[in-house]
Amino acid sequence: MRTRWTAQTGSGVLALFLFVTACGDRGSEQPTPPPKASPQSGAPRISTIQAPAAVRDRVRTDTVAMHVVPEVVTAPGEVALDPKQVAKIMSRIEGQVERIHVQLGDRVRRGQPLVAIDSLRLDELVQEYLVTKAQVDVAESGYRRTEKLAADQIVTERRLVEERGHYIEAQARHQHVREKLLSMGMTTGELHQLEHGSHQEGHRYTLTSPIAGMVVAQNVVQGQGVTPGNELFEVVDTSRVWVFANLSIEQARKFKEGDVGTILPKGGEPVTAPLTYLAPVADETTRTIRVRFEVANQLHSLKPREYVDVQLAIASPPTLAVPVSALTMVGNVRGVFVQRETGYAFVPIEVGREGGGWVEVQNGLTVGEQVVVDGVFDLKNVLLKEHIGSGEGG
């Protein structure tokens, strides 16, 4: 009996001991510390460097300040001819090409002869013009004489009316022939010369250029027969061109005629030009607004049908900003180099919109700090070499 009690008691004591021990172990457990945050991937731990003298000579800094960073809208555009700068020269009379004065690629001035056409029809009209002019002179002389006689009551009123009718009829026939010659390209000066005895030799009719420009199309050769309506030459002046682009309706609402845009040709220099047209109706297919810029192109660098980019800037309030040239990437971190008393520190920053050569700084810099704007690449090389030399490159 005593032996059984002792065994049972021992078992109870052992169980109690194990329970207490387990509780004590759990109470003494220490909480697992959170893992330490690892540095940004690719960002060197060395952030302040001492630049060699050769590098310092190439470094230039600028003060961090408030600047206007415009919102820039960019759209694809296309260069087009200004219709006022294009002339299609057509024959206005039947004849045969006697002489060609210019050829494809020639630059011509306004009024310069392009081609001479031999035309019997022209000679007939010239003769008719001279005859009707003489008839007008005779009819006018008879009418003026009859006016004086009627005033003295020497002739009847009926005779005066008849003479006036003859004069008006002669004027109408002459004016009709005159209009025909003018429509063929003859000038009033040439007609005046005809009236004073100068006749076009050999029935030649000379077509001249109505504008200054370059001959870009030639559709005529020596001896070719031509008829009214044949297009013989095309002359264009590209010293002023149009540039068209399409903006979304929301973008177009931010601009008005007179705003200045920038034309960016591929491989060429930017050109500024005024916005002269915004379509009042959106395109049915693309739901965009067509806009037009009139561009001075004195150097003829913009070529019609060339594709370009068009930029328009929307003004905005000043904000903390640095020049775009100050930005660089070290590893996967975007930042700038800031001049300190101990050297140059690479400072990661958060950026916003970019425009006009400036980029908005949302976090990382304060007004008055000196950021490096020239020599950034050299400082980056120094920083990366120190990073590798410290054993952190792997």
Give the whole-angstrom CA distance, residue 225 versus residue 97. Answer: 6
Average pLDDT, the chain: 85
The matching CATH number, chosen from 3.40.1190.20, 3.30.70.250, 3.30.420.10, 2.40.420.20, for 48-69+318-389 is 2.40.420.20
Q: What's the average model confidence in pLDDT over 232-253?
A: 96
User: Following DSSP, what letter does each residue of 72-113 receive, concatenated?
Assistant: EEEEEEEEEE-GGGEEEEE--S-EEEEEE---TT-EE-TT-E
CATH superfamily, with its number, for domain 72-83+238-314: Efflux pump adaptor protein, beta barrel domain (2.40.30.170)
Domain with CATH 2.40.420.20 in the chain: 48-69+318-389
Give the whole-angstrom CA distance, residue 125 versus residue 111. Answer: 23
pLDDT range class, residue 18, cuts 50, 70, 90: very low
Answer whether 336's CB lies under 8 Å from 347's CB: yes
Q: What's the average model confidence in pLDDT over 332-354?
A: 92
Q: How many CA atoms lie within 13 A of 154 on its CB side?
A: 7
Tens of pLDDT, residues 121-170: 888 888 899 999 999 999 999 999 998 998 888 889 899 999 999 999 99
Give the whole-angstrom CA distance, residue 356 versus residue 354. Answer: 7
Q: Select the more confidently predicted residue: 384 or 371.
A: 371
Determine the pLDDT at residue 283: 95
Amino acid at 100: I
- The residues, ordered by sequence, that sit 6+ positions from 170 with a Cβ below 8 Å of its Cβ are 132, 135, 136, 138, 139, 140
Domain with CATH 1.10.287.470 in the chain: 120-200
Mention the CATH class of domain 120-200. mainly alpha
pLDDT range class, residue 295, cuts 50, 70, 90: very high
Handedness of CA 321, 324, 330, 332 (dihedral sign): positive
Tens of pLDDT, residues 19-74: 444 444 444 444 444 444 344 445 555 568 888 888 989 999 999 999 988 888 99
Number of Cβ atoms within 10 Å of the Cβ of 302: 22
Determine the pLDDT at residue 269: 92
pTM over 0.85: no
Determine the pLDDT at residue 47: 66
For residue 389, is pLDDT > 80? no
| CA-to-CA dists, residue 338 to 103, 227, 313, 375, angstroms | 63, 77, 29, 12
Closest CA to 133 of 199, 220, 54: 199
Tens of pLDDT, residues 199-242: 555 567 889 999 999 999 999 999 999 998 899 999 999 999 99
For residue 302, is pLDDT > 60? yes
For residue 195, is pLDDT > 80? no
Lowest mean pLDDT among 91-95, 207-211, 267-271: 91-95
Determine the pLDDT at residue 72: 85
